Structure 1
């Protein structure tokens, strides 16, 4: 389904965080949004998910006018448009499996959600999501005991449990080391390629955007100043997005490099499911 933003604007007092952004994103694209801190990237994603309401403009997904949704219709959109945050947003004291199962809350009745009752099928889904991300062995650990990279993979598994039509990732690798950044980005690309789910991710490194995204959107001062393929992201385009340093020179891309080496073979190996904890899921149901 076509996803459309038209003159989307968000003001905070006298500050315009996002300024008349218009974009058409076909279903199944993997899009990277880049720009300096304060360029409006996070506000843009939060408006798409409706965590922040637009001041003006519209958000449409197919025939659905997202920007006008309220109540249960808005909750359904936030289920269909899963959000992954830089700081993971897990419940540290709950075990990993339960954190993943929380992704099913908008698919369930209020009563079942309050009782915390999950079906056998839901538990199997959660285990399969953890296996896909290579962390099924952590299922019964408190989420707060995991490393940052593992926690982000739990957050991705929880997003998968929503059965989303779109995934938004707000700086998903900003706090991770290069190896874990690669694992997380490989996982997002695998979801995009295998499920055909549209992914829009804010990124702070140019090499990551080039390596993983088929389309790159550059923002500066709340506006889109670049929209094209990785090959079109020239030095001139980078200068337009990031401006110059304090000495008037262009941005040195090596300063933002994560030194991620891409390996599709590794990616495919991680995607192979293992029997893991399926029996545990059945026993717990």
Structure 2
């Protein structure tokens, strides 16, 4: 159980998040929606402890993570993996190395930066890359990949942390609808197969309804909606986004991630295929 009690964050005279109270059971897929500036990203960053709370507490399995320091805080950030809109990969490093860097908080920083990883870690990284269907890119520099592929690399890297919770901050905001569908399907698969809690900030209403068990709406830093996908009616959406929102803001046909199937990717060259096959065999 992840429990937020009266969580508040102030920046000077501005209150970004105000008195949020939530209980999120283990294994739930939660979508957080709301207009820009509603406090969604600030809330996720407080859960991960990238920023501190001004008031209130965040509790996971009876541990107050909002008070952790030092090694305990690093352990929590490993247990609570964060996926960002901007991917946060190292563009010049290959995909496999980027994924392996997910072990950074659980091993020597020097060894990680020198690329010294165990056989078991490499096998785990290959398995995660295969799971996200990007194994043919394993030896490519991450910066040469498409946005959708880079986000899948970021998810594979998060899995290397063996997390208990995954936080995704606008993971599909910069992706086209087809790649957005692939990324959201991957997060949903992880949630269902691994039983991991997944909390993601989203802009599109159809995405929240399609992939999430529970939807939380924020406005002005406060939770103004908490319900199932069926509860997220047009009337409820208007309350979340404000009475001044126009019809286009709620046109799900324009921003849908559920209407198209992913386009097939270009075939890999025989040389790269042989290299990847050798990489997989070595890892096994």
Q: Which residue of 2 aligns with 1:155?
A: 154
Aligned residues of 1:238 and 1:251 also touching (Cα < 8 A): no
Please give the alpha-carbon distance, in whole angstroms, between the structure 2 residues aligned to 1:22 and 1:246: 26
Q: How does 1:71-90 map to 2 (within 5 A)?
A: 71-90=70-89
Please give the alpha-carbon distance, in whole angstroms, between the structure 2 residues aligned to 1:246 and 1:115: 51
Q: Which residue of 2 aligns with 1:122?
A: 121
Q: Which residue of 1 aligns with 2:269?
A: none
Is there any run of 5+ residues in structure 2 with no aligned partner, and where? 262-273
1:83-111 CA distance string (max 9 Å, x none): 00000000001111000000011121345
Aligned to 2:168, the other structure's residue is in SS state strand
Aligned residues of 1:32 and 1:203 also touching (Cα < 8 A): yes
Q: Which residue of 2 aligns with 1:252?
A: 250
Please give the alpha-carbon distance, in whole angstroms, between the structure 2 residues aligned to 1:61 and 1:259: 32
Please give the alpha-carbon distance, in whole angstroms, between the structure 1 residues aligned to 2:159 and 2:148: 17
Aligned to 1:28, the other structure's residue is in SS state coil
Please report how far the alpha carbon of residue 142 of structure 1 lies from its aligned counterpart in structure 2 after TM superposition.
Answer: 0.5
Please give the alpha-carbon distance, in whole angstroms, between the structure 1 residues aligned to 2:41 and 2:79: 19
* Aligned length, in residue pairs: 273
Please report how far the alpha carbon of residue 280 of structure 1 lies from its aligned counterpart in structure 2 after TM superposition.
Answer: 1.1
1:39-91 CA distance string (max 9 Å, x none): 00000000000001000000000121100000111010000000000000000
- Over 3 Å counting, the alpha-carbon distance change for 1:92 and 1:26 in structure 2 is same
Q: How does 1:132-147 map to 2 (within 5 A)?
A: 132-147=131-146
Aligned to 1:89, the other structure's residue is in SS state coil
- Over 3 Å counting, the alpha-carbon distance change for 1:246 and 1:80 in structure 2 is closer
Q: How does 1:190-229 map to 2 (within 5 A)?
A: 190-229=189-228
Please give the alpha-carbon distance, in whole angstroms, between the structure 2 residues aligned to 1:46 and 1:147: 26
- Over 3 Å counting, the alpha-carbon distance change for 1:157 and 1:148 in structure 2 is same
Aligned residues of 2:103 and 2:160 also touching (Cα < 8 A): yes
- Over 3 Å counting, the alpha-carbon distance change for 1:47 and 1:246 in structure 2 is closer
Q: Which residue of 1 aligns with 2:68?
A: 69
Is there any run of 5+ residues in structure 1 with no aligned partner, and where? 264-274
Aligned to 1:10, the other structure's residue is in SS state strand
Aligned to 1:100, the other structure's residue is in SS state helix
Please report how far the alpha carbon of residue 217 of structure 1 lies from its aligned counterpart in structure 2 after TM superposition.
Answer: 0.1
Please give the alpha-carbon distance, in whole angstroms, between the structure 1 residues aligned to 2:245 and 2:259: 31
Please give the alpha-carbon distance, in whole angstroms, between the structure 2 residues aligned to 1:255 and 1:3: 34
Please report how far the alpha carbon of residue 258 of structure 1 lies from its aligned counterpart in structure 2 after TM superposition.
Answer: 2.0
TM-score normalised to structure 1 length: 0.90
Please report how far the alpha carbon of residue 166 of structure 1 lies from its aligned counterpart in structure 2 after TM superposition.
Answer: 0.3
Q: Which residue of 2 aligns with 1:261?
A: 259
Q: Which residue of 1 aligns with 2:268?
A: none
226-235 or 108-117, which moves further after superposition?
A: 108-117
- Over 3 Å counting, the alpha-carbon distance change for 1:92 and 1:237 in structure 2 is same
1:226-262 CA distance string (max 9 Å, x none): 0000011122211110013367x69533376324238
After superposition, the CA RMSD in angstroms is 2.2
Please give the alpha-carbon distance, in whole angstroms, between the structure 2 residues aligned to 1:137 and 1:158: 16
Aligned residues of 1:216 and 1:227 also touching (Cα < 8 A): yes
